[in-house]
Chain A
Amino acid sequence: EVQLVESGGGLVQPGRSLRLSCAASGFSFGDYAMHWVRQVPGKGLEWVSGINWKSDTIDYAASVKGRFTISRDNENNSLYLQMDSLRPEDTALYYCAKGDDSSGYFYTGLDSWGPGTLVTVST
């Protein structure tokens, strides 16, 4: 069974940094693209960032480009999101999600999601 578990969320002041982690199990992690998607409370889903299986295709939403960095460790089945220069508008529930193509291709649907980790940016 595919399991994705996010961690690292919490309360942080504007301008500070936070690093999110996603621990994956139940599938061959290194074969799949992975993504981060967020949801501001009461709002819709927003794609944040994605990375293909070998980390040579990486992309970010315009709202986070230059501030967030996605990375992965295939040996340890882990996905990361380094979030710098955080803003109040980054407050959201952050989901880790798995691509649905075992070729590791970037441009796919997202067939498994974690429960999310809440990030609150506030003074």
Chain B
Amino acid sequence: EIVLTQSPGTLSLSPGETATLSCRASRTVRSFYLAWYQHKPGQAPRLLIYGGSSRAAGVPDTFSGSGSGTDFTLTISRLEPEDFAVYYCQHYDHTSPTFGQGTKLEIK
């Protein structure tokens, strides 16, 4: 099983700032098989990024994904109030998919 470790656990920022979220894999994940999700309380998770860096339909260009090998990053620029949520990375690289434990992005 590939273990995904996200950091930090909680990130406190103000609207307008840039958030940088990290996802580290216990072994190499091909970037094509890495996704990021946004999850708000009481709602279903929302796919943001798939294939490591491709934005899902309707996702604004303030969200970007990057990385390779074992280190991946989700960057959210110009934070809006609606961006504050929990974010998860997920791999699906030809073994049982797993999620990271999540990063909570909260308003400072």
Contacts of B90 in A (CB 8 A): 45, 47, 109-110
Q: Which of B37, B57, B98, B101 has the most CB of A within 10 A?
A: B37
Total residue contacts A-B, CB cutoff 8 A: 64
Residue of A46, A60, A111 most packed against chain B (CB within 10 A): A111
A16 to B57 CA separation, bound complex (whole angstroms): 41
Is B35 positioned at the interface, with any CB of A under 8 Å from its CB? yes
- The answer to whether A108 and B99 touch (CB under 8 A), given A45-B45, A95-B44, A116-B44, is no
Number of interface residues of B (CB under 8 A): 26
- Determine whether the beta carbon of A45 is less than 8 Å from that of B50: no
Contact A47–B47 (Cβ < 8 Å): no
Per-residue interface assignment for chain B, residues 77 to 101, with 1 indicating a CB less than 8 Å from any chain A CB and 0 otherwise:
0000000001010101110111111
In the bound assembly, the distance between CA atoms of A114 and B33 in angstroms comes to 22
- Chain A residue total in the interface (Cβ 8 A): 24
Contact of B56 among A46, A59, A111 (CB under 8 A): A111
- Is A113 in the interface zone, CB < 8 Å from B? yes
CA distance A46 to B98 in the complex (A): 7
Among A60, A109, A114, which residue has the most Cβ atoms of chain B within 10 A?
A109
Q: List 5 A-B contacts (CB under 8 A).
A: A44-B102, A45-B99, A95-B44, A109-B51, A110-B90
- Contact between B50 and A109 (Cβ–Cβ < 8 Å)? yes
Whether the Cβ atoms of A100 and B44 lie closer than 8 Å is no
Q: Is the CB of B45 within 8 A of A95?
A: yes
The reply to whether B96 and A100 form a contact with Cβ atoms under 8 Å apart is no
Does A27 make an interface contact (CB < 8 A)?
Answer: no
Which residue of B has the minimal Cβ distance to A105? B92
Contacts A47-B97, A113-B45 known; 11 new A-B pairs at CB < 8 A: A37-B99, A44-B86, A44-B102, A45-B45, A47-B99, A59-B96, A107-B94, A109-B35, A109-B51, A110-B35, A115-B44
